[in-house]
Amino acid sequence: MLPPLPLAALGAALAGLASAQVHTDCNPLNTTCPPDPGFGTEADFYFNSTPPAELWETIAGTVSYDAKKGAAFTINKQGDSPTIRTKFYFFFGRTEIFLKVAPGTGIVSSMMWLSDVLDEVDWEFLGSNKSFASTNYFGKGEQDWHNGGMHPMTGMQDDYHNYTTVWTKEKIDWYIDGALVRTLLSKDANNSRTYPQTPMRMSIGIWAGGDPSLPEGTRKWAGGDTNYADGPYTMYVTQAHVTDFSTGKEYSYGDKSGSADSIKMAPGNSTAYQFLQRPPQQSIADKWRLLPAKTKIGIYAGASFLGALIIGTLLFYIKARRGREANAAGFSDYDGHDGHRGGLSDADAYHVPATTAASPLAPSAWGAPPPVTISPSPPYRDAREPAPDAHGFDFGLNAPNSESPLLRSQSPNAPSSHPP
C-alpha cells in the first residue's frame, strides 16, 4: 500500500462521499438482483459524435460532441454534472481514456468504475491543481482516507493525455501516458476484503466539488468555492478503450458476499458484442455503388428519357402559346367588312410577329418546329442522399486475442489488453 497522503486521501474520501452519482439501483449484498449485462470483448470508442444508445447512456446533464474536440462535459450553472456511462459491465479488464481536464476552482473532472456492491476505481483531476492527478478506490462502499494517491504531472489542462487502468484479481495498475504511476495489490486492501472485485461499469463526467451546498471539507479539498459566473467549465474526452478480461454474456452474484468467487458468468455472446459485430448500415451512396452496371445504365436511360419528355412538353407548350398570340395579333388588324364578304383573301393581312436572333423562332420559317437540344442527363443521384460525412461516431472491434491499435500507439509501456 502507498504511504499515507493525508491531503490527497482525505480529499478522495470526501469526493466519494460528496458525489451523488455513486449509488446502485440494486445491491447484491442485501438482496437478489438481476444479472448484469456483460461485455465479453474489447472495443475502441471515438466520441466525435453521439455514441450509440445500445452501448452508452447519459445519466446526468447534457453532453455535446465535436468532430475535433470530442465529447464536451460542461458545467454552466449550479447543479450541472454531465455524465455518460456504459450500459455493459466488465469483470476484470482494462480501460483507457484520452482526456483534457477542465480548469476552474472546485471543478472535478473524473473517470469512475462502479459495481452494484459499490466497488469503485477512480481517476480524479482538480481544476485548481495543475500539478497532480489523483487515483482512488473503494470496496463495497467503505470510505477509507488511506485509499487515495497523488501523481505529479503537467499539461493536463492544456492537452489530451492517456489515463489507463488495468485490473486483475491480484492487482490494479494506473498509468499516465503509458508510464506506471501506481499499483494496488489485492492483499493490501484490508487483506482483499475492500479490494474492488465485482463487475464494473465505466462512467465519465464532471462535477463541482466546490459547490456552496457541499460540506466545507469537500470544498477545501476541491480547491475552494466554485464561482459559476466564471464559467463555463468544460472537460473534453476524444476516445476511450474498454477490454473485458472475462467472456460472459451476463454476470450474476451467487451469494451476498460481494467476492469475485461468487460471480457467475453466463456463457454466450453479450448483447454489446452482438451489436458491435453487426455489419455497418449502408448509406444511399454505398447502395448506389453496389448496384450492377446494367441497373445503373437503366436508371441513367430512364432519367434521360424523363428529362427529354419534360423538355419536349415544355417546347410544345411554348409553340402553341406563340401560335395563339400570333392569331390574336392577325385578327386585330383584320377589316371586318372585307372579312365578312370574302374572308382572309390577302396573306399580308396577317402580321407575323417580329423575330430576333435570341428568339427560338429566328432560325426557321413560320410554322416550322423550332430545333430542340437535349443536354445529356447527369448521373442519377437521390436528392435525399446526404453529403459524405468524414466524421461520425466510430468504433473499432478487435478479436479478443488481438492487440488494440489504440494501445500500441498510445501506451507503449503499458501491458497488453489481456490478463497476465
Catalytic annotation, residues? 120, 124
- As a whole number of angstroms, the distance between CA 307 and CA 303 comes to 6
> What's the gap between Cα 182 and its chain centre?
31
Burial of 310 (0-12, 13-18, 19+ CB in 10 A): exposed
Tell me phi and psi for residue 177, to 5 degrees.
50, 40
Is-contact 219 211, C-beta < 8 A?
Answer: yes
Q: Please, which residues bridge with residue 107 across strands?
A: 208
Place of cell 420559317: 365
Closest CA relative to residue 195, chosen from 263, 149, 258: 258
Is-contact 111 163, C-beta < 8 A?
Answer: yes
Which amino acid, 154? Answer: T
Cis bond before residue 386 (omega within 30° of 0): no
Residue 43, classed as helix, strand or coil, is strand
Residue 124's H or E segment, with its range, is strand 120-126
Place of cell 455514441: 51
Instruction: DSSP letter for 262, please.
Output: G
- As a whole number of angstroms, the distance between CA 218 and CA 16 comes to 10
